[in-house]
Copies of this chain bind each other. A is one copy, B any other.
Amino acid sequence: MEEQKEIINKMIGKQSILFSNPPNILAGSSVAGKKEGEGPLGSFFDQIEEDPMFGGDNWEDAESRLMKRAAELAIEKAGLRSEDIRYLIGGDLLGQLIATSFGIVDLNIPIFGIFGACSTMGESMALGAIIVDGGYADRVLSLTSSHFAGAEKQFRFPLAYGNQRPLSASWTVTGSGAVVIGKDKPVSKDNDKENGVITIKGVTVGKIVDYGLKDSMNMGACMAPAAYDTISRNLKDLNVLPNYYDKIITGDLGYVGKDILIDLLKQDGFDISSNHMDCGIQIFDKETQDTHSGGSGCACSAITLTGYVFKKLMRHEWTRILFVPTGALLSQVSFNEGNSVPGIAHGVILEVC
């Protein structure tokens, strides 16, 4: 009977999955750069590194070191060693995922390399939860990273050019977030006030959504339709209203994208204006940090999740949230060739118990 229920329950609606034995978050880590440490969420991060090079030789090396540190910290916080992790699922923004490849090679863990632009944390947690729930691993590590200087060099201009940024542009977060997902109950706690166990209740896998926008300096507008598509699909698949969630948390839509998202969802009769939060808006101070439309990058949603959101859940201030990191699927080449900037967003349902 129990097994019958399991088989029926896994596929929900068109794109969603609900896990019959929701995997647990065994630990999460958040390593942030200096500017992120000076922002409103600074006190929530595990580590803040003053050196933008993280002791490395170049921006790519810096990001690899950053990711390695987040990976090791998450494993340590879970009370584990790297050999206890069966598979790693991760990626980053750099071409051919070089931050990830060189960052995690020493951990000696079999890896699924993934790319979902800034939605990577959602994709990695979705796959991680599938692998654990399905019994293919006891424990996996889902992680991602981004670095402001590496991303500017990859997608726009090297910092030394000193190019100007329009008000719709966002600021790539320097940081890395890692999550250990497992069957067992977590063994360690940050402190006594944080005693909840976070589980991954389900996921909604996103489609690529292209409204034809071409402005890579307004990625919030490019990604908002994808966030809309995934959130609307999640609510329809689960047959719930937005207030089913204490918070619906998008990745890096920023101020411009947030307004578009809320308008688009109203067309479907969903009003998320009272319980929507965007990590890109949350992570920097608009008045003092000069980040224009807000933060972005894989790490924006990743460290906001592992640093801030996990604590809100573990303290039972929120009990159920929908985490929807958002990605803009462009490259230097696609932009130079005049292509549009399609978006993607993956939804992860987190509950505390």
**Chain A residues at the B interface, C-beta cutoff of 8 Å:** 3, 6-7, 10-11, 14-15, 17, 57-58, 60-61, 86-87, 91, 93-98, 101-102, 104-105, 108-117, 123, 126-127, 130-131, 133-138, 154, 205-208, 210, 329-334, 337, 339, 342, 344
B110 touches A207 (CB 8 A): yes
6 extra interface residue pairs, beta carbon distance < 8 Å, beyond A14-B86, A95-B333, A110-B206: A91-B115, A95-B95, A101-B342, A104-B208, A112-B123, A112-B126
Chain B residues positioned under 8 Å from A10 (CB to CB): 134-136
How many angstroms between the C-alpha atoms of A344 and B6 in the bound complex?
34
Q: Smallest CB–CB gap between A349 and chain B, Å? A: 14
15 CB-based A-B contacts, threshold 8 Å? A7-B135, A10-B136, A11-B86, A11-B135, A11-B138, A15-B86, A60-B333, A61-B337, A94-B331, A94-B333, A96-B334, A98-B339, A102-B334, A108-B207, A111-B206
Cα distance A10–B132 when bound, in Å?
Answer: 11
Q: Do A112 and B342 touch across chains, with their CB atoms under 8 A apart?
A: no
Q: Which residues of B contact A113 (CB under 8 A)?
A: 114-116, 123, 344
Q: What is the distance, in angstroms, from A172's C-beta to the closest C-beta of chain B? A: 14
Judge whether A15 and B96 touch: CB under 8 Å. Answer: no
A163 to B197, alpha carbons, bound, how many Å?
Answer: 58
Of B17, B95, B208, the residue contacting A331 (CB under 8 A) is B95
Docked CA distance A111–B205 (Å): 7
A130 nearest in chain B by CB position: B136
Given A136-B11, A344-B111, A96 contacting B130 (CB threshold 8 A): no
Picked from B137, B210, B329, the residue with its CB within 8 Å of the CB of A11 is B137
A126 to B104, CA, bound (A): 21
CB distance from A155 to the nearest CB of B (A): 9
- Which residue of chain B lies nearest to A233 when distances are taken between CB atoms in the complex? B110
A271 to chain B, nearest CB (A): 25
> Judging by beta carbons under 8 Å apart, are A136 and B135 in contact?
no
CA of A127 to CA of B127 in the docked complex: distance in angstroms?
A: 8
Are the C-beta atoms of B109 and A333 separated by less than 8 Å? no
A156 CB, nearest partner CB in chain B, Å: 13
> Smallest CB-CB separation from A134: which chain B residue?
B134
State in angstroms the CA–CA spacing of A108 and B210 once bound together: 10
Task: Name the residue of chain B whose CB is nearest to the CB of A104.
Answer: B208
Whole-angstrom distance between the alpha carbons of A131 and B337 in the complex? 35
Across the interface, which residues of B come within 8 angstroms of A135, CB to CB?
Answer: 6-7, 10-11, 134
List residues of chain B with CB within 8 A of the CB of A17. 136
A15 to chain B, nearest CB (A): 5
Q: Which of B91, B105, B210 contacts A208 (CB 8 A)?
A: B105
For residue A1, give the distance in angstroms from its CB to the closest CB of chain B. Answer: 12
